[in-house]
Structure 1
Amino acid sequence: MPDSTTLPARQRVSTRAAFFIPGFAIACWAPLVPFAKARAGLDDAMLGVLLLCLGLGSLLSMPLAGMLAARRGCRQVMLLTVLMMVLTLPLLATASTPSAIGISLLVFGAGIGAMDCVMNIQAVVVERESGRAMMSGFHAFYSIGALTGAALVSLLLSAGASALAASLVVAAGVVAITAGSARWWRSERAPHGASSFALPRGVVVVIGVVCFISFLAEGSMLDWSAVFLHEVRGVAVAHAGWGFVAFNIAMTAARLLGDSVVNRLGPRIAVLAGGMLACGGFVLATLVPSFAMAMVGYALVGIGCANIVPVMFSLAGRQTRMPESVAIPAVTTMGYAGVLLGPAAIGFIAQQWSLQTAFLVAAAALACVAVIGSLLRVR
């Protein structure tokens, strides 16, 4: 049994592993989408409908995951979510009908969303007990997991491996990481009679709104950055994806350094500077007619957004308006809604006016986030 000096360190490492797992697993799905589309004979419209199942499963599972974590502890819930991911990954690589793909995505998304929620509850407790900012570093491992998973599956497929073989390799990796870290996941339960579900209220609503807009910006980069580079800047389709790569690498690097930045500047200044930097990145990429400047702008958006959400989760864990087992699922759900609804809102604005206008609206929203986030107070 570890002594009191090694236990906190092992819990920090196990929490990083918990963040790595869903990023690693969900990144496996992206390279498999074309295979699923061809296997089931889907058109673009049907594929779009089925992809909504992934987000729907996540949104539905997050409040339930918070309730279960309060009653059963984080460890049991996270082990259940890992089982859901491991069982559905091979199904995503083999399902050949729209209904089978949709059900698999619904269950897979539920596992990812529940893990996202509960791992943040654990991270809040581990950070609080450490007495220093650690949330940005935890979130960095989600990004590292996503980059690792996408690269691994792409390499396997390029080497001639089947979609099923690639998914089984990822599933085995998830099992191995879980086996090495689950022992140190938290098992505390909420006090008997404590609320396990409630609508967000007070400062939790404001924290959720900040997360919603920050995630909206991230979703916009994922779904619209390449479209902007191709259709507005005239970049070849084969190269348009580099904008999101620049955004993702910059965000990952900024999160790895984020804890020291937040400890040095304080959370309020970190959020203010981050929001303004992300706003400036959007403006630069949108208004300066240069591929190079667009890449710089996307990188600035990644750096600016990197530490806003981690700081918000830390605040959600410190506020006293709602129990953390209720507040964290509420904030996670509101933030994830931004990923789903944000790109749709960008598309609507682009249809009515232009994609440049939509990006400038996102920039203005990030400026508001910078101010609102920096003014938040928790007791």
Structure 2
Amino acid sequence: MSVEEKYLSQFKAGTKEQYAARCSFFLAGFTVATWAPMIPAVKERLQIGDDVLGMLLLCIGISAFIFMPIAGILNQKLGCKKIFRVCIIAFALILVVISFLDNIWSFVAVLLLFGMVMGTVDVTMNMNSVIVEKLSQKRIMSSMHAMWSVGCFCGAGLFSVLAKAGLAIVTIAIIHCAIICVLAFAASPYFLAYKGASNEKPVAIPRGIVVLFGILACISFLAEGAVMDWSGVFLTEAKGLDLSLAGIGYAIFSVAMLVIRFIGDKAVQVIGEQRICVFGAVIAGIGFLLVVLIDNFYLMPLGFILIGLGAANIVPVLYSLLKNQNDMPINAAVTAITCMGYTGVILGPAVLGFIAHGAGITFVFYLLAALFMMEAVLAKYIFNKLG
């Protein structure tokens, strides 16, 4: 028995631990979805333009990306349970602070803190989920990632209901903060106090097959970032849709991804991890091609459905596979793949913007189709290497 296996033998992951792991994803999604509707109000209050707002939002992504490796170290020193409990409460309280701010420099400072906490929460909940699934000896990763989407829907939906009821942004933020805190206190006792074996090095420099996992995660996250940030531009500019319909692509993609993730664990058991990754990438690539090639408004959603269907379970499977590799400790491997994947969300859409400026938005979607075909080949290679 290895040092890691001896260390893991002291933990258990029953039904309560599995529900707590799912709740952590729900809370993260709920918090992010609370922040998103606040952005227009913040922009109006600070009297800033789109360019300044874009730079402010970039503070979150850069801060999260920089702090993720540190999050791996903190988890090894203090354990997932303590880190998650503190960070998710801080996450919620920052929302309330943001609702009060009226100075751009204080806003920058708080957004940098927001990004640090968000990055730490992301690493911690994924690390906990990998260990819970390994101890449970059952496939539950896809359903946990599905709960992030559920949290987003619930957070955005509740925000809209409260806003339509006439409540102020500050009041809505306080209500959401209270909900997050109550759920966090209920779930956190069943969050694992996992730190990693004492001989592990928490430095998250990817190596071995984890590098390939990270590339796959980056491409998969890029799909989500691209559809979220650029599908509206594509539909209005390349397809000539009215601005009121700009969000339809992302909405269809999100629903498809949510549905497929809910049935993803069973699908992986029936179809197999390799087919989910290889054929999932091919299906997503075909989806991007159809989005470009189909001009019929009523058939166009098929492309976005295929993108969501194909990409939905690739990342959950990658996290599950981390327990089968020996190139890095689980602690460092989760941190590494999360950092690499995050570049797809943070930097990917910006890079695609430069490409769109030079080659056109249609070329961007062709490029995304090619990337997913490349991902299918790389996934096949990884599974052959894993044996």
2:76 is aligned with what amino acid? A
Assess if the C-alpha contact under 8 Å between 1:208 and 1:331 holds in 2. yes
Residue 99 of structure 1 corresponds to: 105
Q: Distance in 1 between matches of 2:26 and 2:117?
A: 14
Assess if the C-alpha contact under 8 Å between 2:18 and 2:132 holds in 1. yes
Shift of 1:291: 2.2
Q: Which runs of 5+ in 2 are unaligned?
A: 1-9
Assess if the C-alpha contact under 8 Å between 1:285 and 1:293 holds in 2. no
Q: Runs (4+) of structure 1 moved beyond 3 Å? A: none
Change (3 A) 1:205 1:164: same
Q: Is 1:355 equivalent to 2:354 in the alignment? A: no
Residue 205 of structure 1 corresponds to: 211
Where do residues 235-254 of structure 1 align in structure 2 (5 Å cutoff)?
235-254=241-260
Q: Distance in 2 between matches of 1:35 and 1:94?
A: 11
42, 52, 56: which one aligns with 1:36: 42
Residue 222 of structure 1 corresponds to: 228
Shift of 1:314: 1.1
Q: Distance in 2 between matches of 1:70 and 1:46?
A: 37
2:368 is aligned with what amino acid? A
**Identity rate, percent:** 35
Shift of 1:130: 1.9
Q: Distance in 1 between matches of 2:151 and 2:204?
A: 31
9, 17, 21: which one aligns with 1:15: 21
2:207 is aligned with what amino acid? R
Corresponding residue SS for 1:293: coil
Question: Residues 303-329 of structure 1: CA distance to partner in whole angstroms, max 9, x if unpaired?
Answer: 111000011111123211000110101
Corresponding residue SS for 1:292: coil
Residue 265 of structure 1 corresponds to: 271
Residue 3 of structure 2 corresponds to: none
Assess if the C-alpha contact under 8 Å between 2:204 and 2:335 holds in 1. no
Q: Distance in 1 between matches of 2:161 and 2:68?
A: 32
Residue 352 of structure 2 corresponds to: 346
- Length-normalised TM-score, structure 1: 0.96
Aligned length: 375
Residue 303 of structure 1 corresponds to: 309
1:14 is aligned with what amino acid? A
Question: Residues 279-321 of structure 1: CA distance to partner in whole angstroms, max 9, x if unpaired?
Answer: 1110001111122232221121111110000111111232110
153, 165, 174: which one aligns with 1:159: 165
The alignment yields a C-alpha RMSD, in angstroms, of 1.5
Question: Residues 212-258 of structure 1: CA distance to partner in whole angstroms, max 9, x if unpaired?
Answer: 01111110011011111111111111121111110101100010010
Q: Distance in 2 between matches of 1:171 and 1:286?
A: 41
Q: Is 1:129 equivalent to 2:135 in the alignment? A: yes
Q: Distance in 2 between matches of 1:354 and 1:290?
A: 21
Residue 5 of structure 2 corresponds to: none
Q: Distance in 2 between matches of 1:310 and 1:126?
A: 13
- Length-normalised TM-score, structure 2: 0.94
Shift of 1:7: 5.6
Shift of 1:204: 0.5
Residue 50 of structure 1 corresponds to: 56
Assess if the C-alpha contact under 8 Å between 2:260 and 2:309 holds in 1. yes
Q: Distance in 1 between matches of 2:320 and 2:123?
A: 13
Q: Distance in 2 between matches of 1:189 and 1:31?
A: 35
Question: Residues 172-219 of structure 1: CA distance to partner in whole angstroms, max 9, x if unpaired?
Answer: 111011111101000132233421114110100000000001111110
